[in-house]
Structures are given as structure tokens and as C-alpha cells.
């Protein structure tokens, strides 16, 4: 069975991706206890974290995702200069997708927006996805999520528009990137590790 990197490599000297540990629980709680963050991540009703135990369970689920599919993961986006966890970047299955595609996602703590951290982390996850042999990745978001759409555009995703979303409820703004598009953007990703 192919082995995949545990963590996407970044080319940035400003952020690195790493696995979450239990020591991150206070920051994870501060991030996922905020409606202004969580309202963009899932369908309502929004499930805000309220305790350290909630945050630890979330960290455990992040690790379980990677065990289930070693190409996938939910990684901490750490600011190299300060060690602060700015937020998360992820590669995860698109729920209920008959083509079993994967999606890239990101969210930052409000204290860490406006520095380009999400874009650098997302680009690393994009490159990781193709290095792991995926043929296509998606990004799905609420149609009015302009900051997130800007991240998708900055990492070179192709906008498909607002489409009925069979995976979540209602409609979503879809972005895609194929292996060919990725190669045209950054050069051949090379064989899967």
C-alpha cells in the first residue's frame, strides 16, 4: 500500500502545517466556539464547541479521518514566527459523492485573517492532494463567502459557479482543479510517494 506524507509540505517560510495535538485544545475551542467562523463551515444548526472536551473530541476526529484515508487530514496552520495556530486546512471526502472526490477546506481564527496564511496553507494542501495521486479536488462553499472564494481563486481553482449541491443542502459555490490543471499551474507533481 502506498505511503503518503502525514503532513502537506509548505514552501512558505511564514506558515507550516502540522498535526493537531491535545495541547491545541484551548485554541481549537476558541476557533470552533465562534459562530462567525462555524457558520461558514457546515449546514445549520451550527454545532459550537463549548468545552475543552468538545475540542479534544474534534482533534480526535481529525486524526481518525487521516487513519481512514491517509491522503486526507485536518492540519493546524501554524505561524512560524510566533507558533500561533492561525487556523486549519484540510483535505476530506466530499460527503455522498458517487465519484468519491476530495475537497480542500480552510478556516482561520479572526485574529489571523488578512495575512495570506489561508492561501499559503491551501496551496500546500492542493499540492499534497495531487502528490497523493488524486485526479481532481473540489472546494465547496456558501455562495456569499467572498473571502473563501478569493482564497480558492488565489490558489488557481476553476470556478464552476453556484450549483445545486447534492452533498450538503441547497446550493454551493463550486470550484474544481484537475490533475492536468494542477500540472499546468505548478508543473508535474511526480508519482505518488
Ligand X SMILES: CC(C)(COP(=O)(O)OP(=O)(O)OC[C@H]1O[C@@H](n2cnc3c(N)ncnc32)[C@H](O)[C@@H]1OP(=O)(O)O)[C@@H](O)C(=O)NCCC(=O)NCCS
- Contact (CB, 8 A) for 116 and 88: no
The least CB distance from residue 73 to ligand X, in Å, is 17
Q: Which of 72, 148, 182, 189 binds ligand X (CB under 6 A)?
A: 148
Instruction: Label residue 134 left, alpha or beta by phi (over 0 means left) and psi (-120 to 50 means alpha).
Output: beta
Please identify, using beta-carbon distances, which residue of 79 and 133 lies nearer to ligand X: 79
- Contact (CB, 8 A) for 76 and 24: yes
Q: Which of 150, 163, 184, 188 binds ligand X (CB under 6 A)?
A: 150
The least CB distance from residue 74 to ligand X, in Å, is 13
DSSP-derived secondary structure for 130-177: HHTT-SEEEEEE-TT-HHHHHHHHHTTPEEEEEEE-SSSSSEEEEEEE
Told to check if 75 binds ligand X by CB under 6 A, we report no
Told to check if 145 binds ligand X by CB under 6 A, we report yes
Site size for ligand X (CB under 6 A): 21
> 162: which strand partners?
173
Residue from 64, 51, 47, 57 nearest 22 by CA: 57
- Give the range of 49-57, 68-76, 124-132, 148-156 binding ligand X by CB under 6 A: 148-156
The least CB distance from residue 31 to ligand X, in Å, is 9
Residue from 41, 96, 105 nearest 72 by CA: 105
Binding string to ligand X for residues 104 to 143, with x set by CB under 6 A, is what? Answer: -xxxx----xxxxxxx---------------------x--
- Contact (CB, 8 A) for 137 and 131: no
Binding to ligand X in span 171-190, by CB under 6 A: none
Positions touching ligand X (CB under 6 A) are 37, 40-41, 87, 105-108, 113-119, 141, 145, 147-148, 150-151
Amino acid at each position: 500500500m502506498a505511503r503518503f506524507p502525514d503532513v502537506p509540505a509548505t514552501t512558505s517560510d511564514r506558515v507550516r502545517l502540522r498535526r493537531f495535538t491535545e495541547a491545541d485544545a484551548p485554541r481549537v475551542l476558541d476557533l470552533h466556539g465562534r459562530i462567525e467562523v462555524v457558520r461558514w463551515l457546515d449546514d445549520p444548526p451550527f454545532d459550537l464547541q463549548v468545552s475543552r472536551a468538545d475540542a479534544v473530541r474534534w482533534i480526535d476526529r481529525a486524526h481518525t479521518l487521516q487513519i481512514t484515508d491517509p491522503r486526507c487530514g485536518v492540519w493546524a496552520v501554524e505561524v512560524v514566527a510566533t507558533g500561533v495556530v492561525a487556523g486549519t486546512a484540510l483535505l476530506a471526502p466530499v460527503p455522498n459523492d458517487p465519484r468519491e472526490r476530495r475537497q480542500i477546506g480552510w478556516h482561520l481564527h479572526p485574529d489571523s485573517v488578512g495575512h495570506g496564511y489561508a492561501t499559503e496553507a491551501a496551496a500546500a494542501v492542493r499540492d499534497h492532494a495531487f502528490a497523493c495521486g488524486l485526479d481532481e479536488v473540489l472546494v465547496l462553499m456558501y455562495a456569499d463567502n467572498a473571502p473563501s472564494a478569493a482564497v480558492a481563486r488565489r490558489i488557481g481553482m476553476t470556478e464552476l459557479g453556484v450549483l445545486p449541491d447534492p452533498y450538503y443542502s441547497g446550493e454551493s459555490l463550486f470550484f474544481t482543479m484537475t490533475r492536468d490543471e494542477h500540472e499546468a499551474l505548478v508543473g508535474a507533481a511526480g508519482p505518488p510517494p
